[in-house]
Every structure is written in structure tokens, then in C-alpha cells.
Amino acid sequence: MTANVAVFGLGKYQKSGILELRKKNFYIIGFDESKNPFSKKDVNKFFNVSFLDYKRIEKICKKNNVRYLFAFSTDAPLNLIAFLNKKLNLSGYKEDCIKLVNDKIKLRNFFLKKMNLSKPSFFYSKNLKDLSPKKIYRLNCPFVCKPNRGSGSRGVFMFENKNQLSRLFKINQSFYKNKMILIEKFINGTEYAVEGWIYKKKFIYGCLSKKNRTKPPYLLDTSLIINFENQKIKKKIENFFKIFIKKSKINNVPIHFEFLLSNQNIIPIDIAVRGAGFDVYSSILSKIMEQSTNDIQIKLIMNKDIHFNKPNKKVFFLSFFYSKKNGYFKGISNYSKLLSLKSFLEIKFYKKINSKILSLKNGSDRIGHFLLEGHKKIINKDIIFSEKFIKAEVVNERI
């Protein structure tokens, strides 16, 4: 065994990172807030503990002489990891870095004051009562409401007036518990995400994803073209990160950057120091880079030298199954034709046949996804076909 390491988060999308650590012969101590997480059997020792219980976890790490701390494709435990790294004098995520990217308000103030980015306009409040109509309408409608902390689309919605805000906030209030409310001007534009790394104070480009989203109010991802090629956008991303790295001093981390392109300008939405979920970072990006991206992340944490391959031109299409209405899941239209496509790679379901389905309001309402892989000419035909003919069948039914 080379060293004892701790992994925080043992879900399905963390498994490949854990297995990479096993390949390197580490003794793995796993922590998860669930009693029976997906990858529980893949670690040497398991602790079911809240990620807010800093003192208990610190004692466990000290007792087991933990040398390195990891979290794969999740930012839920990063505040904890940054705290432990400081207390235990370990390499890896720093507190200043995590506090910046995990706090949307702090990040937006950074964009405004340090990078001179005035869009999107925003303000924030402790509670809904303090959000005066005058403040809101200064931004010019429509608006987006977000919890200050939290990843992905949880609790995010668009509104156009105070009545919509009150109604939608009530539906999403569980995502705002003990969190500031961020209101920003909605900007119309195409949304993208980029995967990469900050290594030795330089940005290493991995791949660009072009997104399709649902219509308001929830603006959730419905599909992504991954390794979307656009040299002009790539250049804008690289210029953005030259300034970001210099001003933030963030170093040796994976980067997931979501942004809008509006009038040919990058409008930042979110930056996370982690890989994307749904195996985009661990599996798809590994195929694009032709090297293990989990291995890259482990070496970043350990401050080891890394050789980065140049990304290839293979394209992936990730499409989610979802419903626009409440009902019961009955299957997939043209299922056999989907499986027969030349570019077909995988299909996964999160819901069972005949299970109750809710209209898409957050990520947990998704039914499943399928993935296509191929070179541009082949995959483009299959994307057009799948967008038109491959849907989840949801019916109203009493059971």
C-alpha cells in the first residue's frame, strides 16, 4: 500500500475514481452520508457520517493517518476537504479556492470587481420578504432566482413578476434552506460548458459542450453535444481563464465552467473545481483525451507532474429522457431503432417501468439518458433522428 487516502462521496459517478485509486494500490477510507452508497464495497473502510461533522471526520483521518483527500465529480464535500487539508496540513484543495467557487454571490462579486465583468446584473437577499419590487425591476425582466450555495440546477428558476417569484419560490423553497437568495437578470443566449484543468497556473483545455435546455421557468439541460468544435469560442475561453487564474490564484484543480454566449461575449454562469457528472468527466472526457481523467485528478491533488494529451475530434451526444407532464413511465418510443444506430453507445434508466413520473422541474425528475458516440458526419444524422423520434412515453393512468 502506498498511502492511506480518504474519498468523500461514494455514489455511482464516483466509482471510476475510486477504482483508479485501487489500481494505484491505495488503502481507501470512504465517507458517505448514505448508509449504503453505490460504491461502498469498493473502499477498504467505510464511515457513514454527515459531511457537516467536521470534528468527527478530522479524528478519523488523523487516526488512520490519511495522506490525501479526494472527491470525484461532486462539490458537496469540498468545503469539508478544504478545511481538513488546512487542519491536517495536506496538499489539495485550498480554503480560499473553495470559498470562492462554492459561493455564487462571492463569485459574481469577483467577476464584477476583479475581472470587470458587468453581466449578468444581480443582487441578493437573506429572505423573500426583503426582495422589494423596485430592486427586482431595476434589472429589467425576466429574472433568474438561484440559491447562493449548491450545484447544478437545484432550485433555479426564471420569473417575470413578483407573483411568479412567490409561487415558484414556494415550490423550490427546500433548496434555499439557510441560503442567501441570488436574483440576476436573465440573458438570452446559447449555454455551453467547458471541461479542463488549471495546472501550474495555466488552463488546459479538455472539451466544450453545447447545451439544449427546457423552456422557462426551469431551464434544465435536455441534451449536450460534447466535444463541440468552435475555435472562436475556445479562444474566448482561454482568454477568460488567463485573467481568472491570475486574479483568483486558483491552481492544480479540474475545472467545470458553465457560461452563456451572448452577442459573441462570454457571460459566466458558474465555475466548479470538479469534473462534470453523468460520467462526462471520468468516461467521456477520458475518451476525448485518450488518457484517464481520474488519474489526472489524483496527480493534481498529489502535486505530481502530468502530461496532457491533445483532445481528439470524437463527438458525443448525451440526451436525457424526461416528461412535460405527471404520469407513469411506459417505455421509450423507437427503442429498437435507437439501439441500432451506428453511433449508439449506452442507455440508462433512473426510473422503472410503470413508476410515477413528475414533470421536469429539477434533475431528480429525469427518467434516464442515452449516449451516442462517433465522428461528426455520422453522429450528426443520428442526433437529428434521435431528437425527432426518441422520447420517453409517459401516460396518465390510475394505479
Domain CATH for 32: 3.40.50.20
CATH of the domain at 350: 3.30.470.20
**Of 185, 211, 227, which one is at a domain's C-terminal end?**
185
Q: Answer yes or no: are the C-beta atoms of 330 and 395 closer than 8 Å.
A: yes
Q: Which neighbouring-strand residues pair with 3?
A: none
- pLDDT at residue 1, rounded to an integer: 53
Does residue 130 sit in helix, strand or coil?
helix
Quote the domain boundaries for residue 55: 4-90
Dig out the grid coordinates for 372 from the structure. Answer: 451516442
Same domain, yes or no: 179 and 298: no
Same domain, yes or no: 155 and 62: no
Q: Is residue 236 part of a domain?
A: yes
Same domain, yes or no: 267 and 389: yes
Of 247, 143, 139, 261, the closest CA to residue 209 belongs to 261
Helix (H) or strand (E) holding 87: helix 78-88
Q: For the whole model, what pTM was predicted?
A: 0.93
Same domain, yes or no: 319 and 204: yes
List the pLDDT tens digit at each of the 399 positions of the chain: 579 999 999 999 999 999 999 999 999 999 999 999 999 999 999 999 999 999 999 999 999 999 999 999 998 999 999 999 999 999 999 999 999 999 999 999 999 999 999 888 898 988 887 776 666 767 777 999 999 987 678 889 999 888 888 899 999 999 998 899 999 999 988 999 999 999 999 999 999 999 999 989 999 999 999 999 999 999 999 999 999 999 999 999 999 999 999 888 999 999 999 989 889 999 999 999 999 999 999 999 999 999 999 999 999 999 999 999 999 999 999 999 999 999 999 999 999 999 999 999 988 999 999 999 999 888 999 999 999 999 999 998 654
Q: Answer yes or no: are the C-beta atoms of 332 and 344 closer than 8 Å.
A: no
Helical ranges in the chain per DSSP H: 15-23, 54-63, 78-88, 95-101, 104-113, 133-138, 162-172, 231-248, 285-289, 293-301, 335-340, 376-389
Same domain, yes or no: 29 and 131: no
Same domain, yes or no: 201 and 168: no
Q: Answer yes or no: are the C-beta atoms of 139 and 125 closer than 8 Å.
A: no
Q: Is residue 112 part of a domain?
A: no
Does residue 336 sit in helix, strand or coil?
helix
Same domain, yes or no: 174 and 240: no
User: What gap in Å lies between CA 20 and CA 42, rounded to an integer?
Assistant: 11
- pLDDT at residue 132, rounded to an integer: 67
The residue behind cell 484543468 is 197
Same domain, yes or no: 306 and 164: no
- pLDDT at residue 398, rounded to an integer: 57
Q: Is residue 111 part of a domain?
A: no
Same domain, yes or no: 196 and 322: yes
Q: Is residue 127 part of a domain?
A: yes
CATH of the domain at 155: 3.30.1490.20
Dig out the grid coordinates for 269 from the structure. Answer: 454562469
Q: Is residue 37 part of a domain?
A: yes
Q: Is residue 107 part of a domain?
A: no
Same domain, yes or no: 66 and 179: no
- pLDDT at residue 399, rounded to an integer: 46
Same domain, yes or no: 177 and 240: no
Same domain, yes or no: 227 and 129: no
Pairing of strands 45-48, 27-32: parallel
Dig out the grid coordinates for 210 from the structure. Answer: 453545447
Cis peptide before 268 (omega within 30 of 0): no
Q: Is residue 113 part of a domain?
A: no
Residue 271 CA to chain centroid, in angstroms?
9
Q: Is residue 270 part of a domain?
A: yes
Please state the domain count of the chain.
3
